[in-house]
Amino acid sequence: ERLSPVLWTGLLIGGVLTLAFMFLFGIKRSATHVVMVMGLSGFIAFTVLLIHQLDSPFGELLGASPDAFTRYFR
């Protein structure tokens, strides 16, 4: 089974809203704010990529190929 498109939509909208809220509560030191936003953005991007890979383990980006299995069972 694949992850529902509704869940993907909720995940992506949630990530965007989380980043938007970071800009609503600005910090006086801009360097600190930039580091916080970059860290949170990286974490959200990593989480979305991880969910995508776990949703399609034999996919194109980091998916497992059947080569090892076919060599083993020859």
Residue 67: domain span = 5-72
pLDDT (tens digit, 9 = 90+) per residue, 21-59? 877 876 777 888 888 888 988 998 998 888 888 887 777
Q: Are 44 and 53 in contact (CB under 8 A)?
A: no
Q: How many domains does the chain have?
A: 1
Q: Are 67 and 74 in contact (CB under 8 A)?
A: no
Enter the pTM of the model: 0.65
Q: Are 63 and 57 in contact (CB under 8 A)?
A: yes
